[in-house]
């Protein structure tokens, strides 16, 4: 079926099966490969994108059900020349190792901060449940806190 999606502020169309997950439409039809395939069952979070600002695991939602929603991927989180504060913090804290899960990790963290600018450790634990096999978790936590703190202090992270 022909579907029309609003992805990163652009209207995009694709001809796919009705049950095709958003993940595969983003990656294969729209060429947005920053969103990663990890498990296919919404268990790992590598495929996390924003739908109307909320973190969604794109491997487990049909793209056809996303028509009319605002989809944001890692490529659309911020302009390349003006990174999202989390992206800058990720570099400052040298968070990624292999990096494969980090698009999803950053998208989950961005959605968390958008609804809760000053999350506690427990709220970070609950809001970012992505799997990273390289074990970057503590740096993820530090990076999120640094952005929250910078925002609280009104400056750049």
Query: In 3D, which of 10, 7, 9, 15 has the Cα closest to residue 64?
Result: 15
Of 2, 9, 11, 41, which one interacts with another protein (CB under 8 A)? 41
Closer CB to another protein, 31 or 154, in the complex: 31
Taking the complex as a whole, the smallest distance from the CB of residue 116 to another protein amounts, in Å, to 15
The helix/strand count (H/E) of the chain reads as 5, 5
Footprint on residues 42-71 left by another protein (CB under 8 A): 43-44, 46
Closer CB to another protein, 81 or 154, in the complex: 81
With contacts defined by CB under 8 A, name the span among 50-58, 72-80, 149-157 that binds another protein.
72-80
Looking only at the bridges linking them, the beta strands covering 70-72 and 2-7 are parallel
Q: What is the DSSP string of 17-31?
A: -TT-BHHHIIIIIS-
Taking the complex as a whole, the smallest distance from the CB of residue 146 to another protein amounts, in Å, to 14
Footprint on residues 124-143 left by another protein (CB under 8 A): 124-126, 128-141
Footprint on residues 75-104 left by another protein (CB under 8 A): 75, 77, 80, 83, 87, 90-91, 94-103
Contact 104, 48 (CB under 8 A): yes
**Cβ-proximal residues to 91 (8 Å cutoff; 6+ apart), any chain:** 83
Instruction: Tell me which H or E stretch contains 114.
Output: helix 102-115
Contact 94, 146 (CB under 8 A): no
Q: Which residues bind another protein (CB under 8 A)?
A: 16-17, 19-21, 24, 27-29, 31-41, 43-44, 46, 73-75, 77, 80, 83, 87, 90-91, 94-103, 106, 124-126, 128-141
């Amino acid at each position: 079926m022909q579907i029309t999606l609003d992805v990163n502020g652009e209207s995009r169309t694709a001809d796919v099966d009705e049950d095709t997950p958003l993940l595969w439409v983003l990656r294969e039809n729209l060429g947005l490969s920053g969103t990663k395939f990890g498990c296919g069952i919404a268990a790992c979070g590598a495929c996390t994108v924003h739908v109307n600002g909320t973190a969604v695991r794109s491997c487990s939602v049909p793209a056809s059900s996303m028509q009319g929603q605002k989809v944001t991927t890692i490529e659309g989180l911020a302009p390349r020349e003006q990174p999202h504060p989390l992206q800058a913090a990720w570099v400052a804290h040298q968070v990624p190792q292999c990096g494969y899960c980090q698009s999803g990790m950053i998208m989950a963290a961005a959605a968390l901060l958008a609804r809760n600018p000053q999350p506690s450790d427990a709220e970070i634990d609950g809001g970012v449940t992505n799997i990273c096999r390289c074990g970057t978790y503590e740096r993820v936590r530090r990076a999120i806190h640094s952005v929250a703190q910078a925002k609280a202090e009104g400056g750049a992270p």
